Chain A
């Protein structure tokens, strides 16, 4: 059927173009071709994803990719997106799939909160010379330390991070082997953790990276056996994901290469389907059972993380999860990324992470169980200021996914689900995958964490705080701007000037 959808981008080529065909080579979507008979580069803007790979790699800087200027008659109710989604569904009869986090203009609360700084009444601290500590412990803390040596001193297992930023779950299979390795290397160099997602851990990586790996147990149980669970610093039970709360996952067969298949322990080329729920968890006491089973199989040596999407009842859910024995609670907000999700779910289900952190933290404090677990917040953390604000709202640390991908080259073109990632990140195509150099990518990631850590120290110093733990839940360091009364209430912060 002929598609009636307009192209999203226009490709313009200046006279500098010397027909070197680099763009043709770089574009995995086939937007550039060379016409031999006319000695001319031909653009097919219908195929352009707007990933900017060709523009960056054009030796002459001759290519410019811009949003297509053509439009339908303006209509506040029937935007171009609504019209084109309907056309695509009319053409295919399918659920619309997309990649990356939601691009919808939900209020970004980070941008409506301002940080405090010391002036006169207490001194700000210069982090370049004074001690400034970002080390954080994630896990359950006992109510008190028993000094009797024999029985009670063995504390629950925990994770120690040198900076409160961890890489969130991105599975091998969804992302390329090179990207997966880059994350592992960067995590181990930066004193933090990467997360295997639900794709298992390639066996050759197990011994090298086990101290910096969080291994995930998700509903598909891919690549999971006792050995995998024991080759990790922590085990994460994934209940949900901010980009697609309440639904399962689906790695299409074409991404299940031989090595992905071996890592996931499934046959090559079959769909790897993750059911919507864990079918052994239909209830909170069942979660308690899976947490206990994982603690049993790891001999109570690893902290157990439970990751959920931020949804309406998140504070009650969080309370249940803590009571079910989770050591760490990971919450993923509505803007969280994904390799593939139904668009309608991504853009309509869940709540922003900022509100979720605040209400969960308050609920757990009210119930006196806040120290029984740590909170890792994710889904929309874009810069170091977001990290600081998340911790001031009550998180212990944050997960970054999209930011890490961008550091490696991602431009958020939202074509992850096609498996044709031009940057070699979200693909299993050997040719595309090679584009991502592991050393280069890991260096970019290390640099990002190091830059953010410096910035966090600067912000802490300004507040007159020299240890990150003094920021946690310190909402007094935040003021809202341009927020409604109810939003200030949920965030538990005052308005600017109050």
Chain B
């Protein structure tokens, strides 16, 4: 079946290791099977046209040899885009739905529109760049270890519960298009850092969170991640110094043990 499609819907692009696929009549499993076959046979870049709702794009691409490829998506990919992503690069020319980069380990996801709820949930490495806004519970339980430090940069803002249970990593909201209205930011946060450009009220932030101004080390992180963001969205014509030179708020956990006092032992101390 896949062989038939190889003839019908593939178009070779100028680059020999790149390929173009019309996904309009493919279901999730078919499309992901195809991508896996392509990766295993050496393709490094796939351009998917007419994607509409297919889920888990990029998820099937784990290989012990750690091959990586770039996937460009035209259309609206379905939920869990790049879930468990292992080193690949995905670019969405449009909006993405819920669960972008769910539990991803490494690689990069670029969304040239908005992305939905739980963006970057449990992410442990790699980067996600979203040009627009992100939905509820983004960066939920993101975590870091050793050299692996996940990063999410959002051009707009987020909805409620940003960074819930956050245990590591970096989240940056650039607030390019309007005010931040999210509540319950950083509920249960016990690691990592959130940087927000523009005004943010104390009542929007959970009591587990310490509100401060970024220091020089923070500015360095911001500078490099914002430059990477600008590089990915040149059409926004942003200037990194101009962005850095704005009102910034840093949110970090008050404690790495937010619930330490909640419990009592039935055993004597």
- Are B256 and A271 in contact, CB atoms less than 8 angstroms apart? yes
Whether B145 lies near A289 (C-beta < 8 A) is no
Q: Is the CB of A265 within 8 A of B145?
A: yes
Task: Decide if A224 touches B103 in the complex (CB within 8 Å).
Answer: yes
User: Are B266 and A250 closer than 8 Å at their CB atoms?
Assistant: no
Given A293-B84, A417-B265, A418-B267, does the pair A273, B256 have CB atoms closer than 8 Å? no
Of B52-60, B194-202, B226-234, B242-250, which stretch is located at the interface? B52-60
Residues of B within 8 A of A148 (CB): none
Q: Residue A488 at the B interface, CB < 8 A? A: no
68-110 of chain B: CB within 8 A of chain A: 79-80, 83-84, 86, 98-99, 102-103, 105
Binds B, one of A54-62, A225-233, A314-322: A225-233
A97 touches B122 (CB 8 A): no
- A296 near B60: Cβ-Cβ < 8 Å: yes
Q: Is B133 part of the binding interface, using a Cβ–Cβ cutoff of 8 Å?
A: no
Cα distance A224–B122 in the bound complex, in angstroms:
9
From B102, B256, B268, contact of A5 by CB (8 A): B268
- Chain B residues with Cβ below 8 Å from A482 are none
Q: Specify which of B84, B190, B191 lies most central, judged by the most chain A CB atoms within 10 Å of its CB.
A: B84
Q: Give a binary string over A274-299; 1 marks a CB under 8 Å from any B CB, 0 the rest.
A: 01000110000000010011101111
A267 near B191 (CB under 8 angstroms)?
yes
Shortest beta-carbon distance, A277 to chain B, in Å?
Answer: 11
Across the interface, B99 reaches (CB within 8 A) one of A95, A224, A280, A298, namely A280
A88 and B266 contacting across the interface, CB-CB below 8 Å: yes
Within 8 A of B (CB), among A324-346: 342-343
What's the nearest-Cβ distance from chain A to residue B98, in Å?
8
B121 contacts A269, C-beta separation under 8 Å: no
- Binary CB contact string for chain B from 141 to 176 against chain A (1 if under 8 A, 0 otherwise): 101111010000000000000001101100000000
Q: Output the residue of A85, A279, A292, A417 with the most chain B CB within 10 A.
A: A279
Which residues of A are found within 8 Å of B36, using beta-carbon distances?
A: 299
A74 at the interface (CB under 8 A from B): no
Q: Name the contact of B256 in the complex, choosing from A227, A230, A269, A414 (C-beta under 8 A).
A: A269
In the complex, are the beta carbons of B190 and A270 less than 8 A apart? yes
Across the interface, do B83 and A98 meet the contact criterion of CB distance under 8 Å? no
- Interface residue total, chain B, C-beta cutoff 8 A: 52
B190 to chain A, nearest CB (A): 6
Say whether A141 faces chain B, with CB atoms less than 8 Å apart. Answer: no
How many of chain A's residues have a CB under 8 angstroms from any CB in B?
Answer: 56
How far is it, in angstroms, between the C-alpha of A97 and the C-alpha of B269 when the chains are bound? 13
Given contacts A226-B84, A279-B140, A297-B59, contact A97 B268 (CB under 8 A): no
Known: A98-B266, A279-B140. A261 touches B260 (CB 8 A): no
Q: Choose one: A5, A89, A271; the contact of B190 (CB below 8 Å).
A: A271
Report if A253 contacts B (CB, 8 A).
yes
Q: Are B260 and A271 neighbours in the complex by a CB distance under 8 Å? A: yes
Q: Given known contacts A95-B263, A225-B124, A226-B62, is B257 in contact with A271 (CB within 8 Å)? A: yes
CB proximity to B under 8 Å, residues A229-287: 229-230, 250, 252-253, 261-262, 264-267, 269-271, 273, 275, 279-280
How far in angstroms is the closest Cβ of chain A from B3? 13
Contact status B124-A97, CB under 8 Å: no
Other-chain contact of B265, A97, A250, A299 (Cβ < 8 Å) = A97
A185 CB → nearest B CB, Å: 24
A92 touches B102 (CB 8 A): no
Is A395 in the interface zone, CB < 8 Å from B? no
Q: Are A271's CB and B103's CB within 8 A?
A: no
Q: Are A297 and B83 within 8 A (Cβ)? A: yes
Write out the residue numbers on chain A whose beta carbons fall within 8 Å of the beta carbon of B262. 94-95
Q: Point out the residues of chain B lying under 8 angstroms from A49, CB to CB.
A: 267
Complex alpha-carbon distance, A397 and B262, angstroms: 37
Chain A residues whose CB sits within 8 angstroms of the CB of B148 once the complex forms = 265
**In the complex, B64 has a CB within 8 A of chain A:** yes
Smallest Cβ-Cβ distance to B255: which chain A residue = A271
Interface assignment of A96: CB less than 8 Å from any CB of chain B: yes
Min distance, Cβ B85 to any Cβ of chain A, angstroms: 8
| CB of A281 to closest CB in B, whole Å | 10
Cα distance A415–B55 when bound, in Å?
A: 45
A139 within 8 A of B: no
Is the beta-carbon distance between B32 and A279 smaller than 8 angstroms? no
| Bound form: Cα–Cα A125–B143 in Å | 57
Is B137 an interface position by the 8 A CB rule?
yes
Partner of B264, one of A97, A269, A280: A97
Does B168 lie within 8 Å of A88, measured CB to CB? no
**Which residues does chain B contribute within 8 Å of A221, judged by CB atoms?**
103, 122, 124, 141, 143
Is A69 an interface position by the 8 A CB rule?
Answer: no
B177 contacts chain A at the CB level, 8 A cutoff: no
Q: Which residues on the B side are within 8 Å of A229 (C-beta)?
A: 62, 84
What are 29 A-B residue pairs whose CB atoms fall within 8 Å in the complex? A5-B268, A94-B262, A96-B264, A96-B265, A96-B266, A220-B141, A221-B122, A224-B84, A224-B103, A250-B259, A250-B263, A252-B257, A267-B167, A267-B256, A273-B258, A275-B141, A275-B164, A275-B165, A279-B141, A280-B99, A280-B102, A280-B118, A289-B55, A292-B28, A293-B56, A293-B83, A296-B29, A296-B59, A342-B263
Given contacts A95-B264, A225-B86, 18 further A-B contacts (CB under 8 A): A29-B267, A96-B264, A220-B141, A221-B122, A224-B84, A227-B86, A250-B259, A265-B145, A270-B190, A270-B191, A271-B190, A271-B258, A271-B260, A279-B140, A279-B141, A292-B55, A293-B59, A299-B60
Q: Give the A-binding residues of B (Cβ under 8 A).
A: 28-29, 32, 36, 55-56, 59-60, 62, 64, 79-80, 83-84, 86, 98-99, 102-103, 105, 118, 121-122, 124, 137, 140-141, 143-146, 148, 164-165, 167-168, 188, 190-191, 256-268
